[in-house]
Amino acid sequence: MTTPPPDDPHPAVPYGTPDAPRIAVRGEAHLEVDPEIARLHITVASRGKDRRTALEDLTRRNTTALNLIKTYGDAVERLETGAFSITPQLKEGRGERVHAYHGNVHITAELTDFTALGELTTRLADLDLTRVDGPWWTLRPDSPAHRQARQQAVREAVQRAREYAEALGTTLAALVELADLGAENTPPAYPAAPGSRMRSMARGATEDTAAPLDLEPQRQRVHAQVNARFTMAPPQL
């Protein structure tokens, strides 16, 4: 890195000059919005005295769960199968005698229609040896809420800089730098705000099926920050 010689007519002045003072501010935005996606984790299990029985039961139950989820059509945006395992269970005592086999398949389903979520969750939980975890509420990575938060943070930075300039009896002259500190979606630490209640709707429920869960979508927090530097007209101090 080189240092400008003392006789340089235009030395670098990172903090502005008396003729062009700088203002450095931070703009922030905090939004609360409704979620766009509900994610369910489904674990289908089986148990048999021999490997073939455990595998066949697991295959059948996995197919039943997948077919059930697929009946909800466009309400399911993504359906994925994750880890699969068949594990021998050893009998206590000496030696390595297999007592039984346990099987597991993990399924992830993402829904965008929350009116079907409660019923699907209940019907999945009603299947044999099937565990349901969730829902986890979230936003899409390209959700308009992220853009809204970033734009609001920029407007807040400009407004804050203007207020500082006005306090000095002057005005902003130019934008020197705008640094994006990133926008992130963090899970809320409190229940959904009043007024965001969404009820699940039963579709052909019978006396043999449990009543659909009434799930409450969890509001999402979206946060954005920017650093901005401006020059302003010289104030009369």
Q: What is the pLDDT of residue 96?
A: 72
CB 114 within 8 A of CB 67: no
Q: What is the pLDDT of residue 224?
A: 94
In Å, what is the CA distance from 227 to each residue of 133, 156, 157, 162, 236?
Answer: 40, 11, 7, 14, 26
pTM: predicted TM-score of the whole model, two decimal places: 0.71
Q: Between 6 and 128, name the one with better pLDDT.
A: 128
Which of 19, 68, 29 shows the shortest CA–CA distance to 159?
A: 29
Q: What is the pLDDT of residue 206?
A: 41
Distance CA 188, CA 207 (A): 37
Q: What is the pLDDT of residue 213?
A: 76
pLDDT (average), residues 86-93: 82
CB 219 within 8 A of CB 35: yes
Q: What's the distance, CA 220 to chain centroid?
A: 8
Q: What angle do CA 116, 82, 185 make, to 5 degrees?
A: 60
pLDDT band at 92 (very low <50, low <70, confident <90, very high): confident
What digits encode the pLDDT tens for the residues 153-176? 999 999 999 999 999 999 999 999
Residue 48, helix vs strand vs coil: strand
199 has pLDDT over 90:
no
Distance CA 137, CA 111 (A): 10
Q: What is the pLDDT of residue 202?
A: 32
Surface-to-core class of residue 196, CB atoms within 10 Å of its CB (0-12 exposed, 13-18 middle, 19+ buried): middle
93 has pLDDT over 70:
no
Among left, alpha and beta (phi > 0; psi -120 to 50; other), residue 195 is left
Q: Between 42 and 186, name the one with better pLDDT.
A: 42
Lowest mean pLDDT among 31-45, 187-201, 205-219: 187-201
pLDDT (average), residues 82-100: 82
Token representation of residue 189: 């630490």
Token representation of residue 83: 């880890």
Q: What is the pLDDT of residue 104?
A: 96
